Structure 1
């Protein structure tokens, strides 16, 4: 393990020594992470600093450094706390999943499980859009975030997919979730990005439709269907269709 990752691993995975004597510590890692999340949710990840988190907690920056050595480690804690552990299934869902695993229920249970998984993940990124910036590139993931990957991979138990292919399926769904969330964030709090772009492109097609007949017909069809924000649902279902076809062939 590289030295640059050792501290992140310790903070995310423990153990966290508890003083046997003396006064109870004023802070803990959960409180620190939550303070950072509040700042990031309100003002974005760029506004998170050790100084501001310390002020939010009512302590000095030097006091905060006793718990977290720097911003990189702070952000790692924030990500795992914001994403959290994947929600445990309700008893009826557990029973259904067990029945499916035993072949007692017809149909592909993996599809419903992955669809629910993707919708939950979309909700997380919509609640904490700064996490898009904090989850780019190679990094150490915490137990909460890894529980999501575990859930997606285990949903494909009983299929012919290899372990690597199950991981790739999860990454494919994550990419769709991230893409949709990034589009929404870029559009800002006002309106739907597809609706805004569609209005501009519709005007362009009116003026230059003879040059782009296929696009003109496509935009007209979308307008008739009243389709706004369909990219999420269409993309999700086509990814799952593709997985279903691949599983059937395997």
Structure 2
């Protein structure tokens, strides 16, 4: 609160006229940065396409505002804009046969994937590719000790053939959606 007050050129006590504490201030910052879920431009017929679009848009938000990753951890105050994102993900699964709890869990699983990939990208920098950087870091080690780690050596060699292309985002997203599809199919039968 002290640092924010200094940035705004007011006293710390002056901030308390607007927000009761740090948690509320952070919630307002998240609300302003994330904003409400954007209006849907293209109507997707299926839940899968809706969730693909949703996850991609959330990924973009976290890339633009990486500080929000730390600000949105754990139980906390959430505003209407942030709740609109959750509403969109849960409503995409309407009519699938999943219970409300399962739809919430699906949204949490997708948020976890988005957060994990965004955190990896943040750790490697703006031009970084986590998979290529991991391969480069482990390359010398695998040359020296690859016989001790044959499966890892084979996997890294295969990944190198893809020219270090970062596939973790799409691979993870599609496997999560495949799992949801399998569960939905079981419920429909």
Flag whether TM exceeds 0.5 (same fold).
yes
* Structural mapping, 1:140-155, within 5 Å: 140-155=77-92
Given candidates 55, 60, 82, the residue that maps to 2:11 is: 60
Take 1:65 and 1:161, find their aligned partners in 2: how far apart are those partners?
43
Deviations 1:152-171 (A, max 9, x none): 01111121111111111100
2:129 paired with 1:192? yes
CA distance in 2, matches of 1:190, 1:156: 35
TM-score of the superposed pair, with normalisation by structure 2: 0.91
**RMSD over aligned Cα, in angstroms?**
1.7
How far apart, in 2, do the equivalents of 1:190 and 1:112 lie? 28
* In 2: Cα distance, 1:190 partner to 1:238 partner: 26
The equivalences for 1:219-234 within 5 A come to 219-234=156-171
Instruction: Report the structure number with the largest CA radius of gyration.
Output: 1
Distance 2:165 2:19 in 1: 44
SS in 1 for 2:117: helix
> 2:21 maps to what in 1?
70
2:35·2:81 contact (CA, 8 Å) conserved in 1?
yes
Contact 2:23 2:77 in 1 (8 A): no
Unaligned runs of 5+ in 1: 1-49, 101-108
Number of residue equivalences: 187
State the 1:196 CA deviation.
1.6
Unaligned runs of 5+ in 2: none
1:79 counterpart = 2:30: yes
- What secondary structure, in the 3-state scheme, does the structure 2 residue paired with 1:89 have? coil
Task: Give the CA deviation at 1:55.
Answer: 3.6
Separation in structure 2 between the aligned mates of residue 234 and residue 227 of structure 1, nearest angstrom: 14
Secondary structure at 2:152's aligned position in 1? helix
Distance 1:129 1:177, change over 3 A: same
2:20 alignment partner, SS class: coil
Give CA deviations for 1:157-213 in whole Å, capped at 9, x if unaligned: 121111111111100000001111122222344522322221111221111121111
2:153 corresponds in structure 1 to 216
Return the match for 1:169 from 88, 103, 106. 106
CA contact under 8 A between 2:23 and 2:76: conserved in structure 1? no
2:178 corresponds to: 241
My pick for the range that moved more, 137-146 or 53-62, is: 53-62
2:24–2:77 CA contact under 8 A, matched in 1: no
Q: TM-score, normalised by structure 1?
A: 0.70
